[in-house]
Structure 1
């Protein structure tokens, strides 16, 4: 699907697409979602007070999302595979700010060191390098600095004909919020609705010591998606003096 068609497909969005020109194109492909219902008091330790934790029927959730980033590039420039394509794992929760529902990253890892450095420099997202390998039925990651480990063996099932309310709540998010030392950055994104498949997790090993009270080897819900094509806008920095687009 062409970019213009993606921009013109908006019925699934909770608010309008930004009127400004988008700045980055990227693809989030072959994504595995491990979702966890968690305790609010424990999650609050990791989320800045400027953001409101979003709840589904009174309960907060976090998700581990393991996927492959591909073809990321600025508008009007081509992608460069050695930098633009890399595996990524993020641990995210669901938040609200400025009348928008979005995600907040507790952790974000990339499988190429240079790609992580460039992404961190441009976006201010806290990318860090991890040794990530994947095949069609396995996804592995190891980070010796934090002693983080993820090992998933899986088989992809059928695509869902109908999504439950929770399926959409966990996946259809069109804003990203991230904190820095002096601001909360907001990113607008747009893509078509996630296609979701069933997935059979045949083996799951994980160890994230910092989040041991939030995640374990028994996720509350799991998804797989072949992916989406994504448009992203420039970050908006929220400071005491207001908003400044960068």
Structure 2
């Protein structure tokens, strides 16, 4: 889809597109979403000052999203595959400010050291280097990562179904987010993003080993996610940060 077509497809957004010029293009492909409900009190100390936890039926949520970033580039430059394409995992929760619900990244891991350095330097997001591999064999997908610095790890084996998905309100709450929040130098900023609604298909998790920490909340092999999603991906247009 062309960028003008992406921008014209905006009826699903909860608020209008920014009126300023977009700055970055990227693709979030072959995305595995794993979701856990948690007590809101367990996350209040984690989120940045000035935001409020976004709650669904009394619960806050943490998600681990494992995907492949591709074709990331500034508006007027081509992508450069050795830097622009890499596997990424983010651990996130859901916050809101001024009626703009978005995402707050608790942890972000990426496969390539140079991509980590550039992404962290340019965006201010908490990127870290991780060893990440993914493969497909006889319809079995494998996504594996080890963050040696923090001793976080993920090993997921899963298969996909082509059956149609009827999205629930919770599905939309967890996936349809059009901004993210980041605290930088004692100030809160918002990055606006836009993409078509996530296409979803059913996923069956056959094996899941993991350990991540979000504040005082531990996500481990003994606490499997209560909900999972898979998407072939979305084309994303992003704007520069603005004070939130």
Q: Does 1:34 align with 2:34?
A: yes
8 Å CA contact 1:130–1:143 kept in 2: the answer is yes
Q: Secondary structure at the match of 2:161?
A: strand
Per the alignment, residue 193 of structure 1 pairs with 197
| Cα deviations by residue, 1:19-76 (Å, 9 ceiling, x for unpaired) | 1110000000000000000011111121123110001112111100000000000002
The number of aligned residues is 238
| Cα deviations by residue, 1:108-155 (Å, 9 ceiling, x for unpaired) | 011000001001111010101000011131000001110111000111
Q: Does 1:229 align with 2:229?
A: no
Given candidates 210, 215, 235, the residue that maps to 2:219 is 215
Worse-superposed segment, 226-235 or 148-157: 148-157
8 Å CA contact 1:43–1:214 kept in 2: the answer is no
Per the alignment, residue 116 of structure 1 pairs with 116
Worse-superposed segment, 222-231 or 208-217: 208-217
Backbone CA RMSD of aligned residues: 1.3
Q: Does 1:174 align with 2:175?
A: no
8 Å CA contact 1:102–1:173 kept in 2: the answer is yes
8 Å CA contact 1:159–1:195 kept in 2: the answer is no
| Cα deviations by residue, 1:87-118 (Å, 9 ceiling, x for unpaired) | 00000101101220000000001100000100
Worse-superposed segment, 208-217 or 9-18: 208-217
Q: 1:37 to 1:214 in 2, by over 3 A?
A: farther
Per the alignment, residue 59 of structure 1 pairs with 59
Using the size of structure 2 for normalisation, the TM-score is 0.94
1:212 Cα offset (Å): 6.4
Gaps of 5+ in 1: 239-246
